[in-house]
Structure 1
Amino acid sequence: MTDLRLAPAALAAWGAAWLLTGPGSGLSGPVTWWAAVVVALACLVTVAVAARRLAVRPRLAVRPRLAVRPRLAVRPRLAVPPRLAPTVLAHGALVSACVLAVTLSAHVQLSGRSPVADLAEQRVTVTLSGVVVSEPEPFSFGPGGPRPEGTGPGEVGPGTEPASAPGRYRWVLAARSVDARAVSTAAGAHVQVLSGPAPRYGATVTVSGTLRAADPGAPDAARLTAGGAHEIRAPPSFLGLLDTHRTALLAVTDPLAPQARGLVPGAAIGDTTRLPADLADEMRVSGLSHVTAVSGGHFAVVVAVLTLLCSAARLPRSARVALVALAALTFVLLVRPEPAVLRAAVMAAFALAGVAAGRPAQSAPALAASVVGLLVVDPWLARSFGFALSAAATAGLVLLAAPLAARLAPWTGEVVAFALAVPLAAQAACGPVLVLLDPSVSTVSVMANALAAPAVVPATVLGLVATVLAPWVPVLAGAVAWLAGCATWWIATVAHVCATLPGATVPWLGGPPGALLLAGVTGLVLWAALRGAPRPGWPEAWRAAVRSGVRGALGLGRHGMQPVRPHELLTARRRSGPALAAVLLAAGTAVVLVVATAVPRLVARGEAPEDWQVAACDVGQGDALVLRTGPASAVVVDVGPAGSAAGRCLDRLGVTRVDLLVLSHFHADHVGGLGPVLAGREVTAALVSPVAEPAAGAAATTAALAAAGVPVRPARTGDQGVAGTVAWRVPLAGAGTGANDSSVVLAARTAGLDVVLLGDLEDAGQAALVPLVGPADVVKVAHHGSAVQSAELARRLRPAVALVSSGRDNDYGHPTDEALDLYAGLGAAVVRTDECGTVALVVRGGEVGLAGC
């Protein structure tokens, strides 16, 4: 039986941490006070019940002698049966203690965050000192990418980066002191930093810049953009040694194929910095992203290998526990203590403690205890999707894998049943959480995981061996990494094939309603599948027929074949009738619910209206605008960040020929998706920014266009032409300094609509554009709706529709309230791709209509 006695305490602690770390959770916030009141009431109730229990017990021994019917006199005094009362009391005390511990921890940590959080609200320029507590990762949009909201033209930020500057990195600083306004104050807060050269993990550094408020509920107290970090103390020596191994692994895998360069370090140590964008997208769609997300599976592999080695060496139990514990700690520091890694490490610690004490491991209590312990240490983990997915997947495997395998084994055999039960259990547990991140359900996840499973362990083990050998024997490490690359080739192939299958994902209702609906559907299907004892499987008559057929096909003779009588098949069907009816009922209900929720989204996200004229593609944090020029042709302005989003959008719009491709500037969020747009489409000509900044983006874009045979020419102010039914002109091109202000502005007229696309113009570019344009019907708002907006230009354009292309929950705060209020105040209908997805404008009867939102 699974021991779930700690589950209520874990769920209560999670709920308390989630409330305490949300909006309004400051030291004087209402949520904090309500949580404190609930905790206090829970403690009072627990004490009262305990006191009443102690007061009632003596009466149980005396009353039976005085009363004629002692049970009738005594039992009404007890709220629960005598045997249940101690259990309820114990659970109440445990839950109250866990909630109280989380509450106290949150209060202590909120007090440490308050100095930094208060300064961030005022946007004060500060100098922070602290320790780097996360592995710096390359900024997703690269050098010269979009500038975070709140950085002005004179501040250091990605949007002001010169082409020759080093890349930008995002990392987390555990601030210990803050210097602001000539006063130094102690602090205890995490700050997300965006800086130039990446600092080393574990180093003590100082950074200077302007603090900005973090998102409500974020684990970081503030955000800061800095030119660089000054190292004042090197990382501890053991961290330096582990960094050497990480760097050496990247060096020995550098000559490998692109998939191996990205997947071998990812499968071994969770380093995905070199994972190709298209492969990452395919792994996400096929449900294989966990291969490069270090968590419980990696720990299981490490512990299993070490246990086998210790058993072969016949080491005593104490030596085995010490060796595995040391290896687990080293592995945590090697891959960095991310939320999923911490969960797996704490569970491994509980398991090792059980082994040291000579007791069998209990996965469910270990999971619940690790959740409670980690939430006490860091209450903000309650809002981490990584932590939630890790805990949900583990719970699914613990609770569902064995029962599902038992139900599948009679039909598929034990090996296949286990291979299917593990991804089924993980999918069932993680599905509702994944819907909150992406409103879709993968239909190929179970198949992809079952097919990729044989290669995951070799890829992980060989990658770790290569990591250990890389600094000392690089030639041998390179050979081992090549073998690991063979395993990752299979994983990449499975991901590609499964992700490109028709219907690989099914759109689903988003947000909490969608998560609750999917949880309900999943629960209904699991109830139908797991109720009762496991079925015997295929009827014996059917098995005999298959065996006989196989023998005949193999030429084993007719003597082994037994005729299958019709009445035996009929009897078998009757025996399996009730089970089949239950499964069909559950499946039918699930199909009805899926159709009721998915079909409207499929229609909304499917084919655009046949008479669409202007479309804003949902490409995340980037731009991709389409102006229709004919039945299957269009003018395309920008192609979004790396990935296939822009290409898929053009496919849905039915665009097979691009009469004119305009690339406003060379930032990655405007040119990164060029490859999928060029693939399978005829591009007549391309118009690009006259300023080749950043240089790397300009060179890569020019090379891709040249390889596709597309004529390219830099845009000039005053250029104009006709593409199909669209008349276009360039009122401004390359007038400012820097990539953003060098954006190509396109003004077009189509189907009676005047459209102006502003690229990523900044203050100077927008000011120069004011006298060059007039009123417009549709405007693509500059720079994803950043705070840098010209009120004079907006009044000059005064559009009926303002399109804002930005990514959902992006790191820049785009679109800003200032931009939205500016255009809404002019009477424009503000349409956002982060809320609506891909949208299209149609013109019917002289009126403009909106489709897709």
Structure 2
Amino acid sequence: MGHDVRAPGRAAVHAASGSRLGASHPRQEGPTDLRLVPPALAAWATAALMLDASPEWAVGAAVVGLVAAGVLLLVRRGAGGGTSDREGTGAIPATPATRATWATPASRTTRVTRATPAAPTIRVTHGTQSRGQRPAPPRTTWPRISVAAVLLCVAAAAVSAGLHGADLRRGPVPRLAREYASVTAEVEVTSDPRLTRPRVKGDHMAPTSVLINADVRRVEEAHGTAVVTRAPVLMIIDAGWGSGISRAVDERPNAPGNAQAPPRSADGRTSPWLGLLPSTRLRVTATLAPSLTDGDRVAAVLRVRDPGVPEVVGEPSAAQRLAGRLRAGLREATDGLPADARALLPGLVVGDTSRITPELDEAFKETDLAHTLAVSGSNLTIILALLIGPPGRAQLAERRGLAPRLGFSLRTTALLGGGLTLAFVIVCRPDPSVLRAAACGAVVLLALATGRRRSLIPALATAVLLLVLYDPWLARSYGFLLSVLATGALLTLAPRWSAALRRRRVPPRWAEALAAAAAAQALCAPVVAVLSARVSLVAVPCNLLAEFALAPATVLGFAALAAAPLAMPLAKMLAWGAGWPAGWIADVARTGAALPGAGVDWPGSWAGAALLALATVVVLLAGRRLLRHPWWCGVCGVLLLLVVVQPSPLTRVVTGWPPPGWRFAMCDVGQGDATVLAAGEGTGVVVDAGPDPTSVDRCLRALGITRIPLVVLTHFHADHVAGLPGVLRGRAVGAIETTGHEEPVDQVEFVRREAADRHIPVTRAAAGEERRTGALSWQVVWPPAQSSPTAMAPDGPNDASVTLLVRSAGLRFLLLGDLEPPAQRALLRSPAGALLGGVDVLKVAHHGSAYQDPELIRRAAPRLALISCGADNPYGHPAPSTVAALRAQGAVVLRTDEDGALAVAGTGAQLRVAGD
């Protein structure tokens, strides 16, 4: 006779706790329910494809999907009754387990009974089927329903994507953009304004612009025709830094569209356009142009040439004004914090990255911590966890958190959580990215709080499906893809890996944190590689170290945000408390990015992503085997540490770079100049900084340079000075020497600002100046002092380049900067011209351009000519004629675009050169 066997221990725990889940046992679940995953993926793929499709294709896909789904649902396959294929019986080996009850996807109960003592099997019955009843043969109802659901989702996604795609093609805006027409338009702001990042373009820095996403609601053509429309555009406004704009902002701190004074950029400058709030209506006169990239949710680019105060014709909504005041209050509360914390805290709390400097932003990208700077589900998860308590106790009688301590019921707690979620969406802007973060964050929180990770896969699939149908453009968003992958990793891989680590005696909290970071990295790394063409080797440890500071920074930051409108002193105190963990996160990012082996270059394509995914699988399989051998784990850990840290002595032995006794090095910084003169152990004089801080910083770290007595900037073109922050990063610098020709002005200001921030004196070089440090000595041979009779009016910054004649260990180096033929001929006629004959090494002027004076090449007659230029640069540097002229004089010509970084070693007649 069958009988029920109960487990009195567990039942007692359930009864004592007052909860059907119990105080210490997780919910028992059936197999993972994956039925909603195919419909979500199908809708995702359909939306991505149909955004560019013609209306005929979108309608055709929708009709085919609906018809096919209708056929599957209406036409019965086979005859006879019976239960669905989800019902039936099964036998599993008997265990000491007793009767257990759990929720199934259909909310039915399952009873487990023992058949007979002689036949130790457990018979599982579902639904209303009686014990011992012979099951009916299964039928294929559910597979047909699943396929029909996929087809219906495909049809819905095709309709939604077709309508959203049509928004970009209808109305007058696309036509006017193709004509590059000048228009007067009324636009509604749909995003926070943001500044473009500094970017070197040739020898100058691309102008800073303000970018704003907006909808054109009304457009007037030049002949006066006005049309009401709705077309998404990208507005580009020249920043136009200037005193006039600053005064306008100061005089109108509470003008329509501005909650308070607009946020300042990372270097302290501001524009009235940066203070605009979403939902503000503007009237602008601008030029329409086609979008530069296909597949964007932009019908046209609206370029506004007048950077003055915008003409506001409609105030933002009340919700946006409230959000603007809160965000402005948080910025004010953080004003007194150290630079990194002041920049980072608003980004951690509400995604306000207006103060993030380019180098800090680059550090976060190098360490895969950039997700902390964007509005993400983790922000909402942390706040809701504070309300309901730690993971796994949300539905227990012993639950923790603020809500139970205040006596709130679970229903009231749920309502409060919904209110917090709504406030989060309002403060962080209700655009699709925030809605995505709220949905995915709620899914993660629900998974952690209920302990039902398996049953939350359908919830994640539902969130993906609804968001893609609501906004099909998310189907093409890398951010959306990364969010879904990270959330899926937390729900699937992380629990298993955490359990495996705990079985190997890793403390539970460390096991959960390590498993979460590793799982997210494993699934997201291939996509990140597509975006950055680089794989971070320090992402997991950096995320682990940052994770423990993220919660206190976020909680205190949100507290400061809420307190700012009511009591600014309290908000400043809370922001001060949040500044410590925020500063720690910034230090983690900077330290991780500064490690020589922080990352490796990787193909930035989907083929490269597939290769990385395969490599990840191989590493994981090998790791499972290694975990059985602690000694081998230790050896692999030490090897990885050496690869990342790359201690100088070991690196020199393995790579041979830099060569022993090197005297001069030319860094590979792309289309620009950055060279180093050795001046002792760990010491070097740097001549020019190149266009990119990261590249020159890596070069100096590889050379082991920690002390720089002098930085010489030959002239102020961006391809020679824009990398200065990388030179100054973490190094003791004595002084900066520049040319006296202070153009272009923006780069002169940039250099002086960087020097002033670090209290480094700036001096001017002039011909005749001689200096020495250790065995290194050099003489400035150009430009002449302004009062000198040989002085010439320079024809631009190139002709004013500081030119050095250097002596080191019996070798003579001539560094010409970017001198062009007029200045080169004047140099030969100057008193220093007689000293230029027969140099050992020539740093060829102006990246080897065709503009060289033949007489200077003959006079110098170098044994070795080095050219710094970027691969595939648009200027054709170096010119074949210049290379031929140098070789005709007997010089060996090497170039960084083909040979990489170059280092010269030797003494006197023994001249050696090595490439990285």
The yes-or-no answer on 1:369 pairing with 2:450 is no
% of aligned pairs identical?
Answer: 27
Question: What are the equivalent positions in structure 2 for 1:495-510 lying under 5 Å apart?
Answer: 495-500=589-594, 503-510=597-604
Is the 8 Å Cα contact of residues 146 and 669 (structure 1) preserved in structure 2? Answer: no
Q: 2:422 & 2:282 partners in 1: Cα distance? A: 24
Which blocks of at least 5 consecutive residues in structure 1 are unaligned? 62-79, 150-156, 161-166, 531-576, 760-765, 783-790, 807-814, 844-848
Tell me, in whole angstroms, the C-alpha distance in 2 between the residues paired with 1:606 and 1:176.
Answer: 63
* Root mean square deviation of aligned Cα: 5.7
Equivalent runs, 1:602-617 vs 2, <5 Å: 607=657, 615=666, 617=668
Letter of the structure 2 residue corresponding to residue 651 of structure 1: R
Q: Is the 8 A contact 2:765 2:802 kept in 1?
A: no
Mark the CA change 1:640 to 1:367 in structure 2 (over 3 Å): closer, same or farther. Answer: farther
Which deviations, in whole Å up to 9, do the C-alpha atoms of 1:543-570 show, x marking residues without a partner?
A: xxxxxxxxxxxxxxxxxxxxxxxxxxxx
Question: Do residues 646 (structure 1) and 696 (structure 2) align?
Answer: yes
Deviations 1:18-37 (A, max 9, x none): 4456xxx4x66xxx98xx38
TM-score (norm 1): 0.67
The 8 Å contact of residues 296 and 340 in structure 1, kept in 2 or not, is answered as no
Cα distance, 1:821 vs structure 2? 8.1
Note if contact 2:360-2:586 (Cα within 8 Å) is conserved in structure 1. Answer: yes
Deviations 1:735-789 (A, max 9, x none): 799xx97995578999999997669xxxxxx999999999x9967589xxxxxxx
Structure 1 residue aligned with 2:753, among 700, 705, 730? 700
Compared CA separation, residues 821 and 42, structure 1 to 2 (3 A):
farther
Matched, 1:57 2:65: no
Alignment partner of 1:580 is 2:628: yes
Q: 1:195 to 1:687 in 2, by over 3 A?
A: closer
Please list, as runs of the form range in 1=range in 2, the aligned pairs for 1:411-810 lying within 5 A after superposition. Answer: 411-500=505-594, 503-526=597-620, 580=628, 607=657, 615=666, 617-618=668-669, 623-626=672-675, 638-639=688-689, 643-652=693-702, 661-662=712-713, 664-665=715-716, 670-671=721-722, 673-674=724-725, 676-677=727-728, 680=731, 686-688=737-739, 690-691=741-742, 693-694=745-746, 696-701=749-754, 703=756, 707-708=759-760, 712-713=763-764, 729=782, 744-745=800-801
Q: Deviations over 1:307-334 (max 9, x none)?
A: 4444444556665544433332221231
Q: CA deviation at 1:465?
A: 0.7
- Is the 8 Å Cα contact of residues 125 and 210 (structure 1) preserved in structure 2? yes
- Give the residue type in structure 1 aligned to 2:494: A
Once residues 430 and 384 of structure 1 are traced to their aligned partners in structure 2, the CA distance between those partners, rounded to angstroms, is 14
SS of 1:130's partner is strand
In the alignment, the residues of structure 2 paired with residue 461 and residue 178 of structure 1 have an alpha-carbon distance, to the nearest angstrom, of 45
The residue matched to 2:77 in structure 1 has which SS? Answer: helix
CA contact (8 A) 1:687 1:715 kept: no
In structure 1, what is the Cα distance between the partners aligned to 2:903 and 2:459?
Answer: 54
Q: 1:191 corresponds to which residue?
A: 234
Q: Is residue 2:276 matched to residue 1:200?
A: yes
Aligned CA distance change for structure 1 residues 399 and 128 (closer, same or farther; 3 Å): farther
Partner-residue secondary structure (3-state), 1:57:
coil
Question: Whose helix fraction is larger, Structure 1's or Structure 2's?
Answer: 1
5 Å matches for 1:54-133?
57=77, 82=140, 85-112=143-170, 115-133=172-190
Asked if 1 retains the 8 angstrom alpha-carbon contact of 2:453 and 2:491, the reply is no
The answer to whether structure 1 residue 299 and structure 2 residue 380 are counterparts is: yes
Question: Match for 2:32: what amino acid?
Answer: T
Q: 1:250-285 CA distances to partner (integer Å, 9 max, x unpaired)?
A: 212211223332233232222233345555444444
Please tell me the residue identity of whatever aligns with 1:522.
T
Q: Is the 8 A contact 1:440 1:507 kept in 2?
A: yes
CA 1:842 to 1:648, structure 2 compared with 1: closer, same or farther past 3 Å?
Answer: same
What CA distance in whole angstroms lies between the structure 2 residues aligned with 1:668 and 1:244?
Answer: 40
Distance 1:805 1:287, change over 3 A: same
User: Paired residue for 1:551?
Assistant: none
Give the Å deviation of 1:146.
Answer: 5.8
C-alpha change, 1:460 and 1:748, in structure 2 (3 Å) is: same
Write the letter of the residue equivalent to 1:90.
Answer: A
Measure how far apart 1:466 and its partner are.
0.8
Distance (Å, rounded) in 1 between the aligned partners of 2:720 and 2:431: 27
Q: Is the contact between residue 270 and residue 294 of structure 1 (CA under 8 Å) also seen in structure 2? A: yes
CA contact (8 A) 1:624 1:646 kept: no
Given residue 222 of structure 2, which amino acid in structure 1 is its aligned partner? R
TM-score using structure 2 length: 0.63
Structure 1 segment 65-464 matched on structure 2, within 5 A? 82=140, 85-112=143-170, 115-141=172-198, 169-182=210-223, 183-185=225-227, 186-196=229-239, 197=271, 198-202=274-278, 203-212=280-289, 213-220=291-298, 221-222=300-301, 224-228=303-307, 229-275=310-356, 279-307=360-388, 308-315=401-408, 320-337=413-430, 340-347=433-440, 363-410=456-503, 411-464=505-558
**Equivalent residue letter for 2:148:** A
Q: Aligned in 2, Cα 1:103/1:608: closer, same or farther, shift over 3 Å?
A: farther
1:474, distance to aligned residue in structure 2 (A): 0.9
Q: What is the CA distance between 1:525 and its match in structure 2?
A: 4.6
**TM-superposed deviation, 1:477:** 1.4
Moved more, 468-477 or 309-318: 309-318
Look up the equivalent residue of 1:207 and give its one-letter code: V
Q: Is the 8 A contact 1:612 1:628 kept in 2?
A: yes
Residues 676-728 of structure 1: CA deviation (Å, up to 9, x unaligned): 348547778622353372375354245368x44x6621679x99999979997
Mean Cα deviation higher: 7-16 or 609-618: 609-618
Superposed displacement of residue 427, structure 1:
1.2
Q: In the superposition, relative to structure 1, how do residues 301 and 677 fare at CA in structure 2: closer, same or farther (>3 Å)?
A: closer
Q: Give the counterpart letter for 2:598 in structure 1.
A: A
* Distance of aligned partners of 1:414 and 1:277 in 2 relative to their CA distance in 1, 3 Å threshold: same
One-letter code aligned to 2:296: A
Q: Using a 3 Å threshold, how does the CA distance of structure 1 residues 654 and 735 change in structure 2: closer, same or farther?
A: farther
Distance 1:128 1:836, change over 3 A: farther
Answer whether contact 1:177 1:184 (CA < 8 A) is retained.
yes
Distance in 2 (alpha carbons) for counterparts of 1:110 and 1:826: 50
Choose the corresponding residue for 2:44, options 14, 25, 28. Answer: 14
Partner Cα distance (1:699, 1:236) in 2: 42
Once residues 762 and 797 of structure 2 are traced to their aligned partners in structure 1, the CA distance between those partners, rounded to angstroms, is 24
Q: Distance in 2 between matches of 1:581 and 1:126?
A: 71
State the SS of the aligned residue for 1:412.
coil
8 Å CA contact 1:400–1:425 kept in 2: the answer is: yes
Larger radius of gyration between Structure 1 and Structure 2 = 2
Is the deviation greater in 476-485 or in 374-383?
374-383
Mapped to 2, the partners of 1:440 and 1:48 lie a distance apart of 44
Structure 2: which 5+ residue stretches go unaligned? 1-30, 82-137, 240-270, 389-400, 829-841, 858-864, 885-893, 906-912
Aligned to 2:458, what secondary structure does the other structure show? helix
Which residue does 2:34 correspond to in 1?
Answer: 4
Q: In the aligned structure 2, how far is the partner of 1:285 from the partner of 1:626?
A: 24
Q: 1: distance between equivalents of 2:461 and 2:494?
A: 18
- For residue 191 of structure 1, report the CA deviation from its aligned partner: 0.9
Asked whether the equivalents of residues 62 and 159 of structure 2 are also in contact (C-alpha less than 8 Å), the reply is: no
